[in-house]
């Protein structure tokens, strides 16, 4: 079990690496980190004047921390990371680590467009408490992001990261699927422990599981909409925006899958699809934050250019939850 | 004028309906037809001079007929139906029905671009032995194929078809996904019994199952690559190109899913993904037919403009099977 | 076997070729056919019961025949050709040829999905009066339509066609761009005289003009929206849906371009963009036909599944013409 | 809080505005700024250790400064701006302004993902010498980038920018086309002077010119591949990657268009298409920089994850220039 090893995650820099070594991991590699479980990709709360509201972040995490999540993702796509400054990004990681129980993994989105910036951000996030770095594919020059370029990028990051690296493919945002052949090659790197795949293509997920089976490589579904199917095909968990508001239900779905209660799992999964689509593809982060307000968390505004929902959109959002019995 | 012809067709269709009744199905509508199971979408064999080779078709069906399939699809996308004349299309249905055991369902792809032609083809195929019509979305004017247009199209076809209708969505060929809201509306038609969905989006498949749960509406996965995941989320079967060559394995996967042996199912599913992709998206019908030649069936040439594989492609195809232990 | 039928067709086609010779064109190949000018891609009129209304077709052509068009296209995408039977397709060509003045070119869309069917349709259309065949890319198996496959297809068609062949690339309908390298190769075929390119990418159009400059190969813009730009970059004319309703204006734009009055051309072009988009991408054939009704032609209904415009769409369509001073 | 910082920035910006006034432009708003002409989007030179090489930047600008360009763009997509730190971004602007003759416009790409960061970057770039800000569409949350969101974003930026703003739409990188209706609305803002459109859709460019004709709004083509066509349809200039290596030829093309020598313009345009595609879509910035090395400028390496060309790619790049007579 990982739990004791996570214990001293707060320590900084080299002592962090050292502590990992003392905790039984070979230094400089991630093998042995067990990612299995559910993670909410937490939102970044802002004040009315668009400052990061760290207090609200902590409040949300305290509430979410009581649920049986494996851990938390900060600065996934739902964390509005492209809108944060570098220092805000680090502060969010640091605050999250402090706010969370010691036994919860903290995966921090450290991706930047350049390899160099990604390395620096990854190292810094590890220093302030990230247990692993979740690294989104660079995408502005997607026409040049061949497998070779992406393998080079991730290898460099993983070589230099003091914490394990999780690949992150999210084509809805990046317009880019991390190619399977690149994933397979990267799975052999001792410091790359898995992938969060948000594309929703279970054939691809199954293939990745299959072709990395000789590696200690773990796949996390990137959304609650295909969580059951991902478990069925070999994923070990999920990073699910919906877990920010229906956290216990998503964890219940996990349990049903893990204990082989597929019939009940299916019924629950069915009722989660529309709410999940509503807070992701359909209404995005503004929809997710609005729903958080309904469910007793702090959602609040997004940073511009993300706009708040219109009344009609808000009504449609509510219906997606109500018609499935969640409101 | 079309109307009289259709009516006479419907009349002629009645004896067909009668025979369906005799075989234990409710007359006059599709409800009650149990689609559950595996179907190979059979290829259309051609001679060296590109004539339909009905003899080889029958030989293939005789061999395939010994496997525990629920039935057979003729003139799905793998049947090269856009390359067949109307009379060839009907003759293929007729020959298939005669070649197959009585207890095997025969689903015939009757889609044309116009509603009128689709109705006529559907009626005619029913007359020559189709148990159900599988109707692909019209697609040349995809920019105008709104939900309303597609609902109108399918309603008309289902109203006039003497046999149950199965919707067919295959975006890789049509560039068009039959919208979920249209599927839900159409699921209420008494003569529409299900959908073959080849898009591979299990979130969508789950949503369709969920939103049609009060109807007697059945979902078939359109490919072996996501068959396990589709079963897990509520599909009742699959139309799988791969079943033309690895038929018993696909049926075994079905059994493992239906009997809850998910671990073994997963292992088998994993080994089927690459071969499946090879005979569908990667190498298409030329790949499927080449593989049929290897596995003791008649594959033979495709009609032009489909080209046969290059030696390098053939080698890659072979590797996709060999590396998974099938050759 | 196909061959004898084709050969007899080719034989029958000879009288057609002969008549072409009498009209001053070189026999036996397309070189020398001057495509330059404007062509309306005429719609196929239907009665209220969806029969082809040949009388209305002739009426429309008589009216359009008085305008300074180079010729006419029948069974381009606007002709609803995928909804016509083979005999309707031939009858439309035959009637059009008879209705049109002798000096107007008749380009007939003869594309089918299979090479064999396309050859037969091309030969038959030539027999009943087509001056050239406009052959759309096959598209249902677009994943397999490599340059090699398309070159093979068109070469076969051009080899066997008694009239010159015009390539036709219309990605909005086919999801497929005829690759530039294939166009360049095909431009060397003695019986391929040009391309109608509806994609709207003038960089591509310029490149095609440039790379076929040593051939007698002509490019027609496939839409009025980029007609001026196409002339500027080397196209010799256009097949423009909008010419069905604003025929004299499109011809005026041609004249302004050909006589170097670019400033006036630009003003006119600007005013044609929105109406053109309205009758193509925005509202499709139902929009075009509705507009024809307004402008003194017979538009009438489309065949199903194409639906007529809603009142709101009709209002938006009207505004696209009115706001540019055309209504 | 952001506001005071912005206001102080605006205040500091006033001296810049003053200097603009002294150079003959109306103060406080962009109207009156004449954008017409050709701009190279300059690359950012890096040393072997991936540091910005400001000396090489200055050398390149000194050489390019002798050509009849209207001005220069720094930190367009070719400037690798997503790979630069904020301070590098400002330093590049500052150095460029100092290196360039006073009569050359300096357009600086100031786009960031958040509105707030874009405002701050815009103000800062104006302070260090940018004559106008070229603002790319935010794109990570493209699913939420409605016209309303983009109008809000650009309005805020233009309100607070001390220098005129140029919209920048580059779908190949952003996966997002700035919608025409948003462009038309934004064209009415007194501090928005034009758009750089890199999409290559001349129908769209013509429509933008047409629908903003009552505004003092200018369109720049975003690539040399459709420069002639853009001039023909009403653009006033172009930002052309190719101008970094074939600068005098691109300026010659401009002159031919402006003086109505369309025949010669066409011939020249034709010869520029393949080289242009080679240094943009085909081989990207690595291709452009490699070509700069050939043409007497400093190209050098890109920042990772952009990879240098393989020998085969380099050969293909060379051929694209050689076969058109440029090497």
Q: Does the annotation place A222 within a ligand binding site? A: yes
Which tens digit of pLDDT belongs to each residue from D189-237? Answer: 999 999 999 999 999 999 999 999 999 999 999 999 999 999 999 999 9
| pLDDT beyond 60 at D123 | yes
- Residue D38's pLDDT band (cuts 50, 70, 90): very high
Q: Which two tokens stand for residue C235?
A: 């196209």
Find the closest chain B residue to A180 by CA distance.
B274
Q: How many CB pairs below 8 Å do chains A and B form together?
A: 87
Cis status, amide bond into D260, omega within 30 of 0: no
How does DSSP assign D49-112, residue by residue?
A: TS-B-HHHHHHHHHHHTTS--SEEEESSGGGTGGGS-HHHHHHHHHHHHHHS-TTSEEEEE---
- Give the neighbours of chain D: at least 3 Cβ pairs within 8 Å: A, C
Report, as residue numbers or ranges, the catalytic residues of B.
Answer: 196
Contacts of A83 in chain D (CB under 8 A): 113-114, 116-117
Of C50, C144, C156, the CB nearest to B306: C144
At C180 the pLDDT is: 98
Catalytic residue selected from D196, D211, D267, D290: D196
Of D1, D116, D284, the CB nearest to A144: D284
The C-alpha of C79 sits at a distance from chain B's nearest C-alpha, in angstroms, of: 12
Report the distance separating Cα B44 and Cα B75, nearest Å.
Answer: 8
Of A116, A142, A306, the CB nearest to D304: A116
Verify whether the Cβ–Cβ distance B150 to C305 is below 8 Å: yes
Annotated active-site residue D156? The verdict is no
Contacts of C201 in chain D (CB under 8 A): 200-201
At D28 the pLDDT is: 45
Give residue D70's Cα distance to chain centre: 12
The C-alpha of A316 sits at a distance from chain B's nearest C-alpha, in angstroms, of: 15
Catalytic residue selected from A196, A211, A289, A290: A196
Between residues 75 and 134 of chain B, which touch chain C (CB distance below 8 Å)? Answer: 77, 82-83, 85, 113-117
Which tens digit of pLDDT belongs to each residue from D127-174? Answer: 999 999 999 999 999 999 999 999 999 999 999 999 999 999 999 999
Are B60 and B297 a contacting pair, CB within 8 Å? yes
Which tens digit of pLDDT belongs to each residue from A53-97? Answer: 999 999 999 999 999 999 999 999 999 999 999 999 999 999 999
CB-based contact, D325 to chain C, within 8 Å: no
Q: Residue C105: CB partners within 8 Å, gap ≥ 6?
A: C33, C35, C39, C70, C71, C72, C131, C132
Which tens digit of pLDDT belongs to each residue from B67-90? Answer: 999 999 999 999 999 999 999 999
Give me the sign of the Cα torsion angle D233, D237, D238, D239: negative
Of A85, A285, A307, the CB nearest to D152: A307
Verify whether the Cβ–Cβ distance C273 to D203 is below 8 Å: yes
The C-alpha of A103 sits at a distance from chain D's nearest C-alpha, in angstroms, of: 32
Which tens digit of pLDDT belongs to each residue from D42-57? Answer: 999 999 999 999 999 9
Report the distance separating Cα B142 and Cα B169, nearest Å.
Answer: 13
Which tens digit of pLDDT belongs to each residue from D66-111? Answer: 999 999 999 999 999 999 999 999 999 999 999 999 999 999 999 9
Q: What is the mean pLDDT of the segment spanning A142-148?
A: 98
Verify whether the Cβ–Cβ distance B270 to A226 is below 8 Å: no
Q: Which CATH architecture has domain D34-271?
A: Alpha-Beta Barrel (3.20)
Find the closest chain A residue to D151 by CA distance.
A305
Report the distance separating Cα C274 and Cα C246, nearest Å.
Answer: 13
Of A233, A234, A270, the CB nearest to B210: A270
More reliable by pLDDT, A288 or A25: A288
Which tens digit of pLDDT belongs to each residue from B140-161? Answer: 999 999 999 999 999 999 999 9
Give me the sign of the Cα torsion angle A24, A27, A32, A35: positive
| pLDDT beyond 90 at A28 | no
| pLDDT beyond 90 at B28 | no
Which tens digit of pLDDT belongs to each residue from C73-110? Answer: 999 999 999 999 999 999 999 999 999 999 999 999 99
Which tens digit of pLDDT belongs to each residue from C187-198? Answer: 999 999 999 999
Which tens digit of pLDDT belongs to each residue from C14-31? Answer: 333 333 334 343 444 566
Q: Which two tokens stand for residue D195?
A: 């758009």
Q: Does the annotation place D76 within a ligand binding site? A: no
At A4 the pLDDT is: 30
CB-based contact, D1 to chain A, within 8 Å: yes
At D29 the pLDDT is: 57
- Residue B32's pLDDT band (cuts 50, 70, 90): confident
Average pLDDT score, chain A: 92
At D141 the pLDDT is: 98
Between residues 248 and 287 of chain C, which touch chain D (CB distance below 8 Å)? Answer: 260, 262, 266, 269-271, 273-274, 276-277
Q: Does the annotation place D78 within a ligand binding site? A: yes
Verify whether the Cβ–Cβ distance B206 to A225 is below 8 Å: yes
- Residue A3's pLDDT band (cuts 50, 70, 90): very low
Verify whether the Cβ–Cβ distance D232 to C271 is below 8 Å: no
At C32 the pLDDT is: 84
Cα separations (Å) of A194 from A34, A243, B2, B106, D15?
10, 20, 60, 44, 53
The C-alpha of C156 sits at a distance from chain B's nearest C-alpha, in angstroms, of: 10
At D19 the pLDDT is: 38
At C37 the pLDDT is: 98
At D14 the pLDDT is: 38
Which tens digit of pLDDT belongs to each residue from C233-256? Answer: 999 999 999 999 999 999 999 999
Choose from A4-18, C2-16, C142-156 the range with maximum mean pLDDT.
Answer: C142-156
Report, as residue numbers or ranges, the catalytic residues of C.
Answer: 196
- Residue C10's pLDDT band (cuts 50, 70, 90): very low
Which of B141, B150, B241, B284 is best to mutate for the C interface (most C CBs within 10 A)?
A: B141
Of D1, D140, D304, the CB nearest to A173: D140
**3+ Cβ–Cβ pairs closer than 8 Å linking C and A:** no
- Residue B49's pLDDT band (cuts 50, 70, 90): very high
At B2 the pLDDT is: 33
Exposed, middle or buried by CB within 10 Å (0-12, 13-18, 19+), for B87?
exposed
Strands in chain A per DSSP E: 37-39, 41-42, 71-74, 105-109, 132-136, 165-169, 192-197, 218-221, 237-239
Contacts of C277 in chain D (CB under 8 A): 203, 207
The C-alpha of A110 sits at a distance from chain D's nearest C-alpha, in angstroms, of: 15
- Global pTM reads 0.93
């Amino acid at each position: 079990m990982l739990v004791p090893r996570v214990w001293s995650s707060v320590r900084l820099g080299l002592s962090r690496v050292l502590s990992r070594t003392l905790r039984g991991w070979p230094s400089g590699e991630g093998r042995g980190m067990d990612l299995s479980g559910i993670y909410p990709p937490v939102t970044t709360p802002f004040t009315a004047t668009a400052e990061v509201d760290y207090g609200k972040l902590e409040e949300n995490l305290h509430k979410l921390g009581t649920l049986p999540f494996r851990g938390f993702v900060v600065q996934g796509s739902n964390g509005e990371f492209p809108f944060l400054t570098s220092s805000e990004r680090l502060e969010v990681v640091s605050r999250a680590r402090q706010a969370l129980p010691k036994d919860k993994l903290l995966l921090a989105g450290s991706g930047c467009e350049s390899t160099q910036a990604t390395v620096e951000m990854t190292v810094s996030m590890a220093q302030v408490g990230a247990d692993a770095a979740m690294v989104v594919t660079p995408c502005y020059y997607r026409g040049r992001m061949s497998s070779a370029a992406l393998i080079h990028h991730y290898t460099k990051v993983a070589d230099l990261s003091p914490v394990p690296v999780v690949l992150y493919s999210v084509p809805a945002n990046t317009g880019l699927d991390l190619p399977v052949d690149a994933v397979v090659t990267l799975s052999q790197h001792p410091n790359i422990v898995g992938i969060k795949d948000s594309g929703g293509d279970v054939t691809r997920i199954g293939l990745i599981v299959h072709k990395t089976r000789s590696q200690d490589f773990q796949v996390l579904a990137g959304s609650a909409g295909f969580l059951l199917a991902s478990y069925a095909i070999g994923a070990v968990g999920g990073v699910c925006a919906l877990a920010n508001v229906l956290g216990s239900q998503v964890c219940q779905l996990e349990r049903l899958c893990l204990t082989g209660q597929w019939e009940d799992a299916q019924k629950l999964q069915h009722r989660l699809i529309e709410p999940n689509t509503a807070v992701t593809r359909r209404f995005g982060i503004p929809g997710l934050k609005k729903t958080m307000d309904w469910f007793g968390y702090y959602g609040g505004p997004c940073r511009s250019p993300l706009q708040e929902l219109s009344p009609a959109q808000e009504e449609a959002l509510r219906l997606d939850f109500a018609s499935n019995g969640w409101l």
